Amino acid sequence: MSQKYFGTDGIRGRVGEGMMMPEVVLKLGWAIGKVLAAQGNGLVVVGKDTRISGYMFESALEAGLSAAGVDVRLLGPMPTPGIAYLTRTLRASAGIVISASHNPFNDNGIKIFSGEGEKLPDETELAIEKAFEEEMTTAESSKLGKATRVIDAHGRYIEACKASIPIGTRFAGLKVVLDCANGATYHIAPDVFLELGAEVVSIANMPDGLNINEACGSTHPENLQQAVLAHQADLGIAFDGDGDRVAMVDHRGRIIDGDEILYLIACSRHQSGQSQAGVVGTLMSNMGLELAIKAMGLEFERSGVGDRFVLELLKQKDWSLGGESSGHIICLDRTTTGDGIVSALQVMAYLAESQQSLAEALSGMTKMPQHMINVSLPFKTDPLQNQQVLDAVQAAELELKDRGRVLLRASGTEPLIRVMVEGEIESQVIELAQTIAAAVSDSVAAMAG
């Protein structure tokens, strides 16, 4: 059976519509509580990002969980990976995140972690969906759940972040600009880096419930680039609204994406002698990352696009390091899920240990030019079933040889086919992408009659 309400990353939508209605979230909280209570588990932690609707949904979840007889620990504004961490350390049966990640403030979502701080098993999600469709009842008064606030939640997570790098590491002499996306890292990231000795300049760290991710954070690094140059900082770090993504900027203002961050963390592990057999990227990871990882004598495997698929492949291979170019980086030897602060700390610790700038540390990796073209689809079709498209792809692959890639994939959210070509010569890459995209458009037009 496939889930009816849960997507690949929980439930998400526009506030006031569909599943993002307070009465719906109330019942969802009850359904979660009912399933966990039946399993003999009686404690759930609830955290949120800074969007204004978080107050409403936090109260709704609290009421629903209490009605099911489950105790609640409220964390307040907290990065998603921090909620995963506290779910484990508080020995809770589950952790609920109220967040829509990098989306604007008028969206929100519900994501659930297991007691191990990982994605819920499919069978548990299905059980919650089944309970959700039942009539809601209330436990007798003596068995209602209690709710308390964890007043030192942010301090616990700050210490966990600092513990992810060697105890003697100090960032003294490094000036860093932090872009907190007016999101869940606003009251945590600055303290982490300050306590480790860095000189910190914080921007987008004054959330008002409406400005989360608004022209800031890892998906909008332009302000960070300007701030790094204006403050003559050594580097800049940008998080997204819920703190599970990270992007960086070097002292020259150049954006450092997730592929490059992943490479630097691999370098750090390799230099310190930590055992690692390989690294997981995705179908969209730059080929320059693959070549650089293999040059270290490590394997490189590609998963589907999405941190869920990265995590699945890491566990399958029994490896610890993987991520996406978007900045979702997973260090399973440090945490259970993508963590922007922890990932940034791994890079900073490597720079401090090697006495290199961010730009210098990346000298061993050369990103290949990539060009992507989105081709609209008026109806669902697989262009790889068309001989004209297959011929265009084959011709491009022959021209690129083993120093480039061609990738065609359907968008998961829009009626599009994404045509991506990657190679060493930018003009060649653009021309080949245009040729393949034209073949896809022609094949779709022909099928449309």
Active-site residues, by number, are: 101
Contacts with 303 (C-beta within 8 Å, 6 or more apart), sequence order:
280, 281, 282, 283, 309, 310, 312, 313, 322
Backbone angles phi, psi at 203, to 5 degrees: -130, 160
The Cα 322–Cα 265 span in angstroms is 10
User: Considering only CA atoms, which of 195, 17, 29, 199 is closest in space to residue 100?
Assistant: 17
The Cα 49–Cα 126 span in angstroms is 26
CA dist 301 to 87, 176, 198, 421, Å?
Answer: 30, 32, 35, 19
Q: Which residue shows structure tokens 């997507």?
A: 7
- Structure tokens that stand for 19 in this block: 């599943």
User: Considering only CA atoms, which of 228, 225, 301, 224 is closest in space to residue 262?
Assistant: 301
**Burial class for 424, CB neighbours closer than 10 Å (0-12, 13-18, 19+):** middle
Contact of 151 with 76, CB cutoff 8 Å: no
Centre a 10 Å sphere on the Cβ of residue 249 and count the other Cβ atoms it contains. Answer: 26
- Structure tokens that stand for 94 in this block: 């589950």
Contact of 129 with 121, CB cutoff 8 Å: no
